[in-house]
Amino acid sequence: MRLALSTWQEIETYLSRSKGVIIPIGSFEQHGPNGLVGTDALCPEIIANAAAGDSEDILIGPTFSVGCAQHHLAFPGSMTLRPSTMIAAIADWVASLRRHGFERIYFLNGHGGNIATIQAAFAEIYAEASFAAGGAPNRGLQLKLRNWWELEKVGALCKELYPQGHGMHATPSEVSVTYYGYPGAVKDAAMTPEIAPIGHFHDADDYRRRFPDGRIGSNPAPACPEHGERIVSLAAKALVADYNRFLDAD
């Protein structure tokens, strides 16, 4: 069930049987020569929609598409929020949902660079409850962050599909997931060198100087829709189980 495709009456009824919602959260940033700028937002969205399927008991909220990607800004098309802006936006998204009675909000994340900021946002939101003992608007609210690549067995499948050159950014697994979701957007590009360098970076110009085509440690050339289908199908099953555990937990 998707929030964007529901009426308010359907959501009112949904809330009588579930207080949970899944929010895909990602980033808009370059993903090397054959990866889509939307990769990190598309991956959690594709997996979440596959997990929900036709179920009336799993609600998928809007995708929080632009995240923390300042280090990619030297590549055209990349967009970012400052961490402070993202924290404020997540707090407003959660407050909106909380007002209607949502109590368990599960963020399925597609971008490693978002993790610290999402965790800081959670701490800000919980602080509201902690400061105002008893009557806080956020009392009873539970938030969860899960990176899609950490869903059960997904890492092992990615290792099996790409024993070499999986890398850290513009990985063949994430590119495959987007190719499965959008087969019309499959790109063909040369990788030079075949496996990109690894290393640290600071700001956007420094990143581009160190990683001229945008990749870090990866060779996404083998990415294909067939691999993406296998990854999505496994991740979607694992997401349903993980989300249900979150709903059922204390």
Binding site for Ni ion (CB under 5 A): 39-40, 174
What single string gives the DSSP state of each residue in 139-198? TT-EEEEEEGGGSTTHHHHHHHH-SS---SBS-HHHHHHHHHH-GGG------SSSS---
Q: How far is the CB of 41 from Ni ion (least distance, A)?
A: 9
> Which whole-number Å values give the CA distances from 21 to 24, 48, 52, in the listed order?
10, 11, 11
Q: What is the CA radius of gyration of the chain?
A: 19
Q: How far is the CB of 54 from Ni ion (least distance, A)?
A: 29
State which residue, 103 or 174, has the beta carbon closest to Ni ion.
174
Q: How far is the CB of 174 from Ni ion (least distance, A)?
A: 5
State which residue, 138 or 178, has the beta carbon closest to Ni ion.
178
- What is the pairing mode between strands 142-147 and 20-25? unpaired
Alpha-carbon span 65 to 79, nearest angstrom: 10
Q: Which residue is nearest to Ni ion (CB)?
A: 40
Q: Does an H or E element contain 132, and which?
A: none
State which residue, 68 or 94, has the beta carbon closest to Ni ion.
68
State which residue, 174 or 242, has the beta carbon closest to Ni ion.
174
Tokens 């499959």 sit at which residue? 186
Q: How far is the CB of 238 from Ni ion (least distance, A)?
A: 19
Alpha-carbon span 149 to 47, nearest angstrom: 11
State which residue, 40 or 45, has the beta carbon closest to Ni ion.
40
State which residue, 39 or 147, has the beta carbon closest to Ni ion.
39
Q: How far is the CB of 140 from Ni ion (least distance, A)?
A: 34
Closest CA to 49 of 232, 246, 234, 175: 232
Alpha helices in the chain (DSSP H): 8-17, 39-52, 83-100, 115-131, 154-161, 172-181, 204-210, 225-248
Q: Cα torsion for 191, 29, 74, 220, to the nearest 10°? A: -10
Q: How far is the CB of 128 from Ni ion (least distance, A)?
A: 31
Q: How far is the CB of 4 from Ni ion (least distance, A)?
A: 23
State which residue, 125 or 231, has the beta carbon closest to Ni ion.
231
